[in-house]
Amino acid sequence: MDHTAHTRLEPAELNATNLEGATVYDTNDEKVGSISHLHGHGTDSHVVVDVGGFLGIGAKPVSLRLAQLDVMRGSDDTVHAVTTMTRDQIDAMPEHKH
């Protein structure tokens, strides 16, 4: 997917309403999971990304700093995020405990 034409979200848009459910892609542009919820406010917050599994079953939640993501809105108005991490790096992260 070519993200160059996508619009980056402004800091004020980095909230649960826009982020929850957003697909997260790795550095190879592979889908690694989706954002289940947000901890904190603004760019210092963390997002919990459900990785792996199938249709949410068996997924492992991991916590990423929001600053590790490039969050944007595609031409279809869908919010998604890209990280510089690989799928293997994300899969190796410890499970986030609520």
Q: Say how many C-beta atoms besides its own lie within 10 A of residue 81's C-beta.
A: 23
The mean pLDDT of 58-74, rounded to a whole number, is 92
Per-residue model confidence as pLDDT tens digits over 4-22: 779 999 988 999 999 999 9
The mean pLDDT of 63-70, rounded to a whole number, is 93
- Name the CATH topology of 7-91: SH3 type barrels. (2.30.30)
Q: In this structure, are residues 91 and 30 in contact, taking their beta carbons and an 8 Å threshold?
A: no
Task: List, in sequence order, every beta strand (DSSP E) within 1-98.
Answer: 7-8, 23-25, 31-39, 46-51, 60-65, 69-73, 79-83
**Domain extents in the chain:** 7-91
